[in-house]
Amino acid sequence: MRRVIISGGGTGGHIYPALTIARAIAAMEETEFLYVGSRRGLENTLIPKENIPFVTLDVRGLERKISLRNLLTLGKTVAGLVAAKKIIRKFNPHVVIGTGGFVCGPVLLAACLSGIPTLIQEQNVIPGVTNTILSHFVSRIALGYEAAATRFHTKSKLVYTGNPVRREVLTVTKEEGRRILGLDARRFTLVAAGGSRGARSINTAMIMVHEYFKNMDDIQIIHVTGEDEYARVAAALPGIDADGRYGRGSRIVPYLYTMPAALAAADLAVYRAGAVGLAELTVRGVPAILIPYPYAAEDHQRYNAQNLVMHGAAKMILDKMLNGKELLEEIVRLKEDKAALAAMAAAGRALGKPQAAHDIAQLALTLAYGGKQYGECN
């Protein structure tokens, strides 16, 4: 049995890939896992539900300027490194995997200093600060985007795997997705979502979209607003019912637990450009209008979106340019151009990496078995 530490924290964009990789490893080999997260991140809610042993470190991210807070943070980082070394000494893993977030820093560095094989999975075109630093020490780097290779100096460590995607995203058919959501199998289906917390700019622009299509029978819209934004959007659409239904085809909800079904059902998506969301869109071949989050570190969402645009899989509207009219015009144009949608879908599928989780798991197990290709060693 191999022992594996996985570390990733702060946001779902780091945690969900970690869980997907863990499930892929578990499907290949009986494994004992330990998840190391931060005390304040979303992982404190998500990981205990997965029945994975979970411990935390008291660490924080550095600000991009000289400040008193950074001095305090550096102190916590040193303390976190000491604590991480104790965790590693006690658990004695065969490999340590990091999926991003500042908590990965002390965990993977402690593993490197202890001579344990290490792997980081970089989801974005523009690597984060933590992964950029760690790249000089770790054994391997699994890239979510091939274009990210230019951002790393240690080329021999790079492996282009794509970003891991949840199994349920791959297995739901379009017919099943529409049945699960109670959608008409014949209508054009638009899915709009701005992430679990919502995106005010997307939600505001979508109000005009709902109003325009209110009395049309050939389109249905699933709009996920985020919990904090739902009341504001609902108040702007007179006539919305208690279930979030508006007009003849719109359904507006604060959160959707069946997003894999929504992706399967979609003919077109309006999305942010987080790496996990884009990986799911591409493996499903869903054409998309992307509105990158403008405050993401290093503007990485814009670079993620540009990668899809350059390959013909998506259109992009910058957040500062987004309004109801601009978004509506793009939706109407694509809705009426079946050839353009088909070309975008094909381009997306060509970029998608449905085997990414398996390939990353295999890479991790290869490291865990001392570098011998996994599959030849047991």
Q: Which residues are annotated as a binding site for UDP-N-acetyl-alpha-D-glucosamine?
A: 11-13, 124, 166, 196, 301
Residue 94: name the closest of 368, 375, 370 by CA: 368
- Cβ contacts of residue 49 below 8 Å, gap of 6+? none
- Cβ contacts of residue 114 below 8 Å, gap of 6+? 85, 88, 89
Rounded Cα–Cα distance for residues 1 and 33 (Å)? 10
Let me know: does 203 contact 194? Beta carbons within 8 Å. yes
Rounded Cα–Cα distance for residues 143 and 271 (Å)? 22
Rounded Cα–Cα distance for residues 187 and 240 (Å)? 20
> Tokens standing for 237?
């659409």
How does DSSP assign 227-241, residue by residue?
A: TTTHHHHHHTSTT--
How does DSSP assign 109-156, residue by residue?
A: HHHHHTT--EEEEE-SSS--HHHHHHTTTSSEEEESSGGGGGG-S-GG
Let me know: does 86 contact 109? Beta carbons within 8 Å. no
Q: Which residues are annotated as a binding site?
A: 11-13, 124, 166, 196, 301
User: Residue 10 forms beta bridges with which residues?
Assistant: none
According to DSSP H, which parts of 181-223 are helical?
Answer: 200-213
